[in-house]
Amino acid sequence: MGRYAAVVFDLDGTLLDTLEDLAGSVNFALERHAGMTRSIGQIRSFIGNGVRMLMTRSLPGGQENPAFERAFADFREHYREHCRDKTRPYPQIPELVQALAAQGCKLAIVSNKADPEVKKLSREFFGGLICSSVGEREGVARKPAPDTLFQTLREMGVPREQAVYVGDSEVDVQTARNAGVDFIGVTWGFRSAEQLHQAGAATLASRPLELLTLV
């Protein structure tokens, strides 16, 4: 085993390329309720604080728009049905997960995606290699609050000093900082190396298998 007993991953933009499916569901709701769509680049920049904030940023007027709740409900229903259409692990991610598990490292996912989708995608793509998969749900503060990260560390029985959080956004940097957990940023997701550095990430990986030398 390497430096850490547990590696906890963000999901969207870190393990899985979910952008096209998220964009498809956002634009389904926008077309229905605002007669417009957003570009892939715009939607990429809106991701990171959960799906409610994604729709808040996508719909003109955000939550002040009278159609917001209906648009958000349509997004959620559409995404539940289509979250798997084009979503795939990034290249080298399956090999990374298998290698870390073979080394005896405990693996988990902590995401601001809705909890049912997190668990569904974790099971489908990683089977039993992921010990704990935690997403956003009512009554639990989402990232960058440390609550969901603390929960998964408790479930795995790993102290925070022996864990590292791996993610692709400013929210992930803040989550690790708030939890007192080491952080590694990845540059193949939704934010650039410059954005991650500006957010305070000191260690970056540009390829998934590079993580094997860092954890």
Catalytic residues: 10
Q: How far is CA 146 from CA 22, 84, 108, 133, in A?
A: 24, 28, 15, 15
What's the distance, CA 186 to chain centroid? Answer: 12
Structure tokens at 51: 């799906």
In angstroms, the CA 167 to CA 12 distance is 9
Outline where DSSP puts E strands in 96-213: 106-114, 132-136, 163-167, 182-186, 204-205
In the chain, the DSSP E strands lie at: 6-9, 16-17, 88-89, 106-114, 132-136, 163-167, 182-186, 204-205
